[in-house]
Amino acid sequence: MEDIVVRTRVAVVVLALIATSAFAATPAQASGEPVPTGGPCAYTPTPDDPAVRPVPLPRDPRHTPSRGTVTVTLVTNLGLIPLTLDRAQAPCTVQSFLHLTRHGFYHRTVCHRLTTYPTLKVLQCGDPSGTGEGGPGYRYKDELPTNLPPAPTDPTGARKVYARGVLAMANAGPDTNGSQFFLVFADSALRPNYTIFGQVRPLGLHTLDRIAAGGVAPTPEDPAPVDGAPALPTSIILAV
């Protein structure tokens, strides 16, 4: 399985609603359905998949910034990974990523997954639980790329090239973006189902190469894995 996914948790959520207010509830509130933010990004709470680290919903202004770039640096135990976020490419995603960064959501977190398949070479991060199941307690829509070249390894043309240096969101299906993201350290072939929202800068690629060179941590079941925790444990100390 070579997809970049967020594992979803199975949870039973019991909601107790006590109606004591004199004001009528909206239909969404009355039914217990999550109420998204009112702007174009519609960040939607996920009560059945609560935040693994407390964080509010992002602001969702009517005029979401959609021009220019922003620099964020992941300070890891193995070196710096500077990123350039592209607002024009994915304005809602950049807005959410900056929100999580400013609230310290990524501080002291591990990058839980390294893949070294011939056609998929990425490092996945962004889950404070370190399990691949955690998120920020909300989801939002995809902002998918439309101009990626076809992957030469896929004669059907369904998979596209996610090039070395791409920064993209992991997900658990359509419109389920949260906090997990992946960094591409070598050209990879993926269906264009993952939002690209920036690039890893050259210094960050050197750090990624170091992590990738360490390979995937072996397990008793698989002494030579190509998908799993990095053999060089990788932690984001700060995201600034």
What pTM, to 2 d.p., does this model score?
A: 0.89
Determine contact, residues 169/197, Cβ cutoff 8 Å: yes
pLDDT band at 4 (very low <50, low <70, confident <90, very high): confident
At 219, the amino acid letter reads T
pLDDT at 19 over 90: no
3-state DSSP assignment of residue 146:
coil
Q: What is the chain's Cα-based Rg?
A: 19
pLDDT band at 33 (very low <50, low <70, confident <90, very high): confident
pLDDT band at 59 (very low <50, low <70, confident <90, very high): very high
Interatomic CA distance for residues 106 and 183, integer angstroms: 15
Task: Dump pLDDT digits (tens) for 183-224.
Answer: 999 999 999 999 999 999 999 999 999 999 999 999 999 999
Determine contact, residues 199/215, Cβ cutoff 8 Å: no
pLDDT band at 2 (very low <50, low <70, confident <90, very high): low
How confident is the model at residue 8, as a pLDDT?
Answer: 54
List CB contacts of 112: < 8 A, sequence separation 6 or more: 124, 125, 127, 130, 131, 132, 229
pLDDT at 13 over 50: no
How confident is the model at residue 7, as a pLDDT?
Answer: 67
Average pLDDT, the chain: 91
- The residue-averaged pLDDT of 121-144 equals 98
SS3 sequence of 12-26: CCCCCCCCCCCCCCC
How confident is the model at residue 229, as a pLDDT?
Answer: 98
Task: Dump pLDDT digits (tens) for 139-179.
Answer: 999 999 999 999 999 999 999 999 999 999 999 999 999 99
Nearest to 91 by CA among 116, 57, 66, 60: 66
